[in-house]
Amino acid sequence: MVLGRASSPETNLTCENTQTASLSITEQVSQRRLKEAESRHVGDSPEEKTVLKTSERLAETTNEQAAEPQGAEPTRATSTEHLTKQVASAAVPLPPVVEDDFVPDDPRDSVHPDVESGQDLTSSRVTQEAETTGKQTEEKRKAKAKKKKPKLLNKFDKTIKTEIDSAEKLRKKGKLEEALRAFESLVQQFPQSPRARYGKAQTEDDLAEKLRSNDMLQRAINTYRDAAELPDVTSDLLRAALKRRAERQQFLGRMRGSLATLERLCQIFPEDVGLKNDLGVAYLLLGDNKGAKKVYEEVLAVAPADGFAKVHYGFILKSENKIAESIPYLKEGLESGEPGTDDGRFYFHLGDALQRVGDSSG
């Protein structure tokens, strides 16, 4: 049996010296690498900083291994392997950061586009509605200006306005008998009051409708005339009284009386195209087409776009067998859409005229 030799103190000392020398060499290599890195200004880039830190950790680990006792377990070897792997992974260069092409986000981009578009649409809609409302208001204002409240009170009538208003209120409420008594009382007290007499005529007119009485209507026609003939009558009351008188005369079949009333009106208000149009109708109702034609020629001379005058003038031309000449007047008059033009007889005459000239465009 062969016995092994015991380790001598000299042998152990030699091994320790060998390990110490080996560690010293490793430490020297690490320090040399550190100095070379410093001389090259290590740390200028993120990759180099990573390598430097890893090398420092490796050097510290080597020094700790050198300071450990001989019989310690080799746990540091595992740590060294782990650090070596970290160095390998950290040594992989990262892609450089490109700063030139970087564009910062616009804070306005964070707003939802739908919200912005909705706000724009809402704003646009509000603007359109405001413009439409403004136009409608302007049209209403113009309509009111055209339909100005007539001035029916002269200076004297203004002094008895309270009494006139009380009687007028009864008429508007439909209490016609009481209103008539009130106006008759005012006429007796103030016989020179055009407004009191005009109110009496209106009440008699309303009663004639209610009672279906021609006698009462004739009373109203006479009272309208009396109101218009009083001194200091306002122009608005004069026009209103005579115009209504002519209408009620036509209703009773008093065509010549209506024509005379309208002629008087046209003499007082020669620039009133509407009154002249009514006068032309009065001539037509009497069968006097020549008189009507003359009136409408006068109207078209001052108001060439008047649809009412055009359609009636075209009708007169067709009755004179001037078929081709009547067509443009009838057509343009109907297209104007003015009050008094939308009559089936005018459509019939236009269609008949077109058929006679062989024009199917109508």
pLDDT score of 178: 97
| pLDDT higher than threshold 60 for residue 317 | yes
**Displacement of CA 132 from its chain's centroid (Å):** 5
Q: Is residue 176 part of a domain?
A: yes
Check pLDDT > 70 for residue 92: no
| Mean pLDDT score, 242-253 | 97
Q: What is the pLDDT of residue 149?
A: 86
Length of the chain counted residue by residue: 362
pTM of the predicted model over 0.75: no
Kindly report, residue by residue over 261-274, the tens digit of the pLDDT: 999 999 999 999 99
Domain assignment present for residue 179? The answer is yes
Domains: count for the chain? 1
**Sign, CA torsion 201/153/270/295:** negative
Q: Which of 5-9, 17-21, 226-230 has the highest mean pLDDT?
A: 226-230
In whole angstroms, give the CA distance from residue 236 to residue 118: 54
The string over 215-250, giving b where at least 16 C-beta atoms fall within 10 Å of a residue's C-beta and e elsewhere, is ebbbbbbebbebbbebeebbeebbbbbbbbbbbbbb
Tell me the C-alpha distance between 121 and 127, whole Å: 10
- Helices 344-356, 323-336: axis angle to 10 degrees equals 140
Give the range of the structural domain holding residue 216, as residue numbers without chain letter. Answer: 151-233
Highest mean pLDDT among 52-56, 72-76, 88-92, 180-184: 180-184
Residue 8, pLDDT score: 47
pLDDT value at residue 38: 54
Beta strands of 293-339 (E only): which ranges? none
Q: Please report which confidence band the pLDDT of residue 60 belongs to, taking 50, 70 and 90 as the band edges.
A: low
pLDDT at 148: 77
pLDDT of residue 290: 96
The answer to whether residue 209 sits within a structural domain is yes
HEC string of 114-169? HHHHHHHHHHHHHHHHHHHHHHHHHHHHHHHHHCCCCCCCCHHHHHCHHHHHHHHH
Q: What is the mean pLDDT of the chain?
A: 77
Q: No. of H helices and E strands in the chain?
A: 16, 0
Task: Say if residue 307's pLDDT is above 80.
Answer: yes
Q: What tokens appear for 247 in the block? A: 């209408």
pLDDT score for 146: 57
Residue 210 lies inside a defined structural domain of this protein:
yes
In a domain, 39, yes or no: no
CATH number of the domain bearing residue 207? 1.25.40.10
159-197 confidence digits (pLDDT tens): 999 999 999 999 999 999 999 999 999 999 999 999 999
Which distant-in-sequence residues (6+ apart) come within 8 Å of 36 by Cβ?
none
Is 21 among the domain residues? no
- CA–CA distance, 79 with 60 (Å, rounded to integer): 12
Question: Which pLDDT does position 358 carry in this prediction?
Answer: 87
Query: Within a domain: residue 324?
Result: no
For 256, other C-beta atoms within 10 Å of its C-beta total 11
Q: Quick check: is 339 in a domain?
A: no
